[in-house]
Amino acid sequence: MKRTKWMLAAAAVALSAIVVSGCSASSEPSAGGDHVFVVAIPSNPPQFNLGVTNDGSATFVGRSIFDPLVNLNTDYEVVPALAESWSANADSTEFTLNLRHGVKWHDGTDFTSADVKFYFDEVIPIHPLGAPIAAVYDHTSTPDDFTVIVSLKSPFAPFIQALAGHMMLPAHLYAGTDIATNPANLQPVGTGPYKFTSFTSGDSVIVDRNEDYWGEKGDVDEVVYRVMPDSNARALAFQSGEVDLATMLPLNQVETLKSDNRFAFDSAAMAEHLYGFFNTASATLQNADVRKALYHAIDRDEIASKVFLGTGTPSVSPVPNQVTWAIDPATDYTTEFDFDLDEAGRMLDAAGYPAGADGTRFSMNVTYRTDNASWATTADLIKTSFGKIGVNVNLVGQDTQVFADTVYTQHDFDFALQSLGAYADPSLGVARAFICNPTNGSYRNPTGVCDPVIDGAFAATAAVSDPAARLAAFKTAADAVAADLGTAPLISYNQITAYRADKWNGIDQFNSTDVWTWGALRAK
């Protein structure tokens, strides 16, 4: 009958839809080798040229394909990579780099000083993080294939530190082309421990061991970077054993995973800093005493324990706590601005904001980003705490793009939470949260504070190379920040790396540098 046919047809469509989708299935094991190491990356890498993208996932991948001139370890010390040694002239305006011999690009071409010169001349000006060097760069000379002499227009002490994270690109593929659109951006050729094999957009990137690598070679034959955008699902995939290493997991999930002895956790090398930005254009918050009173009213120990679950500590200075050499022992915001609600109340009374009949002094917004649950929890704790001294808080949670627009462009906020990476040297990653920002650039100080003392002090930290002099300059900056308090440093922390301790040895050493040391990875 016709109806029966119709039903059959529908069933056939359903079946064929399933079968067809299953037909293309191929689940042969990877052709790579015995030891496959799977890394979960949080987004689809747009491309792999780290000269033009700062994308987090592209960085994860690119750092196994490319090499930097120098690397940075967990003690914030610069260690050799493609540059074996270096020296500077007395006023930090000329730096000489001695390159490693016998290094080859993955396509067989020799790596030479010409590649480095090309990088300084052509890539640094358009590099997302190139600004500090571009601002002082003059020219590069290459006396021979393995010597590079970089001349600067003005002194820049942390020049070598600033090179950490700059991954060298092959001049023979990029010179004379549009670097931003070069096909090699999707077929990267580096000098690093792994060679690019394939990229399936939205799914995975596969790299295989570079058997001609100049450095130590690890046990991992093939690294698979899998795109896993959802942080909870990422944690579950890690828990199910699909992943060997994952980062940016929700901290509450990390707590759960800790009880499983297959897993271990390690801090990433790079320091992160959570800031609270006060908008000094706000009628109430333009008074520095009000800002300081509110800083007193934030229970940062509670935030460190409840939100960061012990992976963070209350910041003692503008520089994150991990960068110990840049923090003068006399600077300690945790005592200067200790959690003291009574003191905060007295300061607000004195500033002309007594509690009204209903106990309320004033209302304000706390703006935070919704991409990470930690910021919402932090904002909530602050709301509770401020409420106790009669300050009503409206929580404003925003998407990344909206937050950037509201806070940095529109300045439509009272107090905003933002975490920023500290980078290799505090004069690179930290100063931006405090120095004057007249052009309203994003991810820079949005508070409206423009203090020549602060700007001068941070400039001095970059201009001198003598450690004592630099420390003194950071002290000056810290004191000036405490006097104005536009930007309040809240918590210093590191991203947590979760890995399979039952399968791999040497992760701590692997993870001890900003650019992973793949040679340290040993299969169990």
Partner 1 sequence: MNVHWLRYYGRLIGSSVLLIFVVILVMFLLLEIAPGDPIQSLVGQVPVTEEFRRQMTATYGLDRPLFERFVSYVANVATGNLGYSFANREPVTELILQRLGNTLVLTLPSLVISSIGGILLGTAAARTRSKVKDGAISFAAVAGFSIPSFWLALLLIMLFAVSLGWLPAQGMASYGSKGLSVPHLILPLIALAIPELAFKARIMRSTMIGVLGEDYIDTARSKGLSSFEILRRHGLLNSMLPMVSVIGYSLGFTLAGAVTVEKVFGWPGMGMLLYTSIQTGENMVVMGILLVVAITVVIVNILTDLVYGLVDPRIRARSRMSRGVNV
Query: Which of positions 168-227 make contact with partner 1 (CB under 8 A)?
Result: 180-181, 185-186, 200-204, 206, 222, 224, 226-227
Nearer to partner 1, 12 or 350 (CB): 12
Q: Which residues pair with 366 in a beta bridge?
A: 395, 415
CA distance 486 to 278: 5
Q: Does 18 bind partner 1 (CB under 8 A)?
A: yes
- For the bound state, the minimum distance from the C-beta of residue 312 to partner 1, rounded and expressed in Å, comes to 18
- For the bound state, the minimum distance from the C-beta of residue 410 to partner 1, rounded and expressed in Å, comes to 8
How does DSSP assign 415-458, residue by residue? EEEEEEE--SSHHHHTGGGTS--TT--TTS--S----HHHHHHH
- For the bound state, the minimum distance from the C-beta of residue 14 to partner 1, rounded and expressed in Å, comes to 4
- For the bound state, the minimum distance from the C-beta of residue 101 to partner 1, rounded and expressed in Å, comes to 34
Nearer to partner 1, 16 or 154 (CB): 16
CA distance 103 to 215: 9
- For the bound state, the minimum distance from the C-beta of residue 31 to partner 1, rounded and expressed in Å, comes to 6
Q: Find the binder of partner 1 among 26, 259, 261, 335 (CB under 8 A).
A: 26
- Do residues 57 and 45 make contact, with C-beta atoms less than 8 angstroms apart? yes
How does DSSP assign 74-127, residue by residue? TTS-EEESSEEEEEE-TTSSEEEEEEPTT-B-TTSPBP-HHHHHHIIIIIGGG-
Asked whether the CA dihedral 311, 317, 323, 327 is positive or negative, the reply is negative
- For the bound state, the minimum distance from the C-beta of residue 17 to partner 1, rounded and expressed in Å, comes to 4
Nearer to partner 1, 249 or 464 (CB): 249
Nearer to partner 1, 31 or 283 (CB): 31
Helix (H, G, I), strand (E, B) or coil at 467: helix
Q: Does 261 bind partner 1 (CB under 8 A)?
A: no
What is the DSSP pairing of strand 391-398 with strand 312-314? unpaired
Query: In this structure, which amino acid lies at residue 133?
Result: I
Contact pattern for partner 1 over residues 286 through 305, marking x by CB under 8 A = --------------------
Helix (H, G, I), strand (E, B) or coil at 496: strand
Nearer to partner 1, 21 or 259 (CB): 21
- For the bound state, the minimum distance from the C-beta of residue 27 to partner 1, rounded and expressed in Å, comes to 4
How does DSSP assign 204-244, residue by residue? EEEEEE-TT-SS---S-SEEEEEE---HHHHHHHHHHTS-S
- For the bound state, the minimum distance from the C-beta of residue 112 to partner 1, rounded and expressed in Å, comes to 26
Task: Identify residues 130-169 at the interface with partner 1 (CB under 8 A).
Answer: 130-131, 134
Nearer to partner 1, 221 or 299 (CB): 221
* Binding segment toward partner 1, per CB under 8 A, in 26-34, 112-120, 343-351, 461-469: 26-34
Q: What are phi and psi of 138, to 5 degrees?
A: -110, -70
* Binding segment toward partner 1, per CB under 8 A, in 127-135, 161-169, 382-390, 489-497: 127-135
Q: Does 335 bind partner 1 (CB under 8 A)?
A: no
Q: Find the binder of partner 1 among 34, 108, 211, 240 (CB under 8 A).
A: 240
- The structure tokens 């950071």 sit at 474
- For the bound state, the minimum distance from the C-beta of residue 10 to partner 1, rounded and expressed in Å, comes to 6
Task: Identify residues 351-390 at the interface with partner 1 (CB under 8 A).
Answer: 371
Task: Identify residues 396-425 at the interface with partner 1 (CB under 8 A).
Answer: 400-402, 404-406, 409, 420-421
Task: Identify residues 447-476 at the interface with partner 1 (CB under 8 A).
Answer: none
Q: Find the binder of partner 1 among 103, 129, 297, 482 (CB under 8 A).
A: 129
CA atoms within 13 A on the CB side of 366: 24
Enumerate residues 6+ apart whose C-beta is below 8 A from 320. 271, 272, 273, 422, 426, 430, 489, 492
| Closest C-alpha among 339, 390, 393, 398 to residue 366 | 393
**For the chain, counts of helices (H) and of strands (E):** 18, 19
CA distance 251 to 458: 33
Q: Find the binder of partner 1 among 5, 27, 261, 329 (CB under 8 A).
A: 27
- For the bound state, the minimum distance from the C-beta of residue 412 to partner 1, rounded and expressed in Å, comes to 11
Binding-residue total with partner 1 (CB under 8 A): 83
